[in-house]
Chain A
């Protein structure tokens, strides 16, 4: 398992559009993707779960990825979050 703590940087946080991007990307990997915030753990491959996380700008979330392609999955998801889901702000 690989884990990494990441701060959500885009202005709107994990809103629907961002959540869809995240979930779509997560689903491209074989590994299981869990996201933890304040003790709540949700399935990163579920858009509902991701929306209920309510991760706003500045929130720290922890990615926990387990599986064959965990390294590349972590790298890609981290890039997406750090790139603010390619939103302008």
Chain B
């Protein structure tokens, strides 16, 4: 131990995208203005101002282009930051400051930009909040781009093509999207950020190891340093000696094996031991998540939460905004189905652009289909976009929070109106687009035998259904222990829903968290469910659980379990019986994935 090089250091952060990489550091470019003050004549100053305006026009074009590219490549939500950059560029305060410097202080455009840059830097230096302090990078980005554009076409390509590890204070999602897609990024290490940031989601979907929240990694490394980034354990090692490198190479091999296992699992057929086919799908929020989900074995998107289209923006999305997202989903998932759930906004997911009143009891208030039926024009925009996208793949329409039959009748009328409109304009759509409902309100569950005659499929949202049925808020720790998916009352209700669906010959799937829990998923299978949708990372483990049992046997066990009085008895019985017959069914493999 004593003779090894000790001048290496380990920095802990949060692993947000698993995997291990070793490579050379590429610190993200810092703003570097090198210009001296030169006095110029008044005439020259006017020319300088024109030059700056030309550069500004050029910058605007570039930003718009990037915004468009990033939007197409990975989705509108990632291109949002460029909207901020465009706003900064045309900000009156900024332009005024620049104009004054050039025309009154008689200096060159370069100098003016560097002065304004310094000024904003000073303001941000007095800010103590770390996150806000970082925001100056947005202003820097814009100023740097502007500065570069002062000399047209003389941009040098600095980045060599070698694969590198990106080290930065923070990586704007747009920037991340841009750089990660170029394929020469080994890993990411950031001072800021966390597991739920879009950059993290993106890194995971592209299988790029990433550690965030490292606080000051940018100050500890320089270009050319070598790093190990361990995205599984959330650690970065700077200039690791050979022994450490070898240790991590082993770890990387292990992880790669695990990935291979996952991929093997993803390729396995979804059949139980006795040959009953089942189907596993993914719940997602962003259109760019499809590929990642499919690589884990998803055969379709069982739930696309369309409200995220609204949550990412300041204004209301128009039909084209919707259409772009749905088209991409349909294309990426085809031939597999995409269940698009119409907006579930309202209640606590309030949006000022919709002017929804605050409610005392949001879970029981104006949300989801209730809101859509009140604001019909907005709802029709979404329906039109979904219908138009339906010719590009296998799209299904899913209506949330249905409570009574009248609601589905109204939806059908609106859908008919929209279809007729499209027909009159000769716009193509899938005339037989399947229409289904979420069963998540107990009232809908209780009349599911009637509902089944009206729709093409059911999707059971077990989280809300159980919460409403048991009157338990599972996020309230005083009562969360009462949230019991295996409560006999819940199982009876679920059995009734599944039977109602089967009787009318319609499909039924489950998209709540019960789907992602091996024991609960097995119980659902015992109740007759064959379609499950969940957070994609759980798909491999559910696939293994369901593949390791005989469906017939599980059905028998669950039938018997339904005669017990308490959730506890049911759970005990089911576990014991399943393990007796299928000892590996509930084995949760070690999951080095985070989240």
Contact = CB atoms under 8 A, between A and B. Distances in A.
A24 B316 CA distance: 12
B129 A17 contact: no
Interface SS majority for chain A: helix
A35 to B, nearest CB: 13
Given A16-B138, A46-B93, A48-B120, A54 B352 contact: no
A34 to B, nearest CB: 13
Nearest to A78: B352
A54 B351 contact: no
A25 interface: yes
A61 interface: no
Interface residues of B, number: 29
Contact of B84 (A19, A43, A54, A86): A19
Given A14-B132, A20-B314, A46-B91, A83 B84 contact: no
B132 A15 contact: yes
Nearest to B85: A16
A41 interface: no
Contacts of B87: 20, 23-24, 47
A51 B350 contact: no
Contact of B81 (A17, A48, A56, A79): A17
Contact of B131 (A13, A47, A48, A49): A13
A43 B311 contact: no
Contacts of B311: 86
Interface in B183-236: none
Interface string B335-349: 000000000000001
B314 A51 contact: no
Contacts of B93: 43, 46, 48-49
B131 A25 contact: no
Contacts of A25: 314, 352
B88 A47 contact: yes
B91 A48 contact: yes
Contacts of B315: 24
Interface residues of A, number: 27
A17 B352 contact: no
Given A43-B93, A47-B87, A54 B81 contact: no
B258 interface: no
A66 B138 CA distance: 30
A48 B88 contact: yes
B83 interface: yes
Interface in B340-377: 349-352
Interface in A48-84: 48-49, 51-52, 54-56, 76, 79-80, 83
Contact of A51 (B131, B135, B349): B135
Interface in B77-108: 80-81, 83-84, 87-88, 91-94
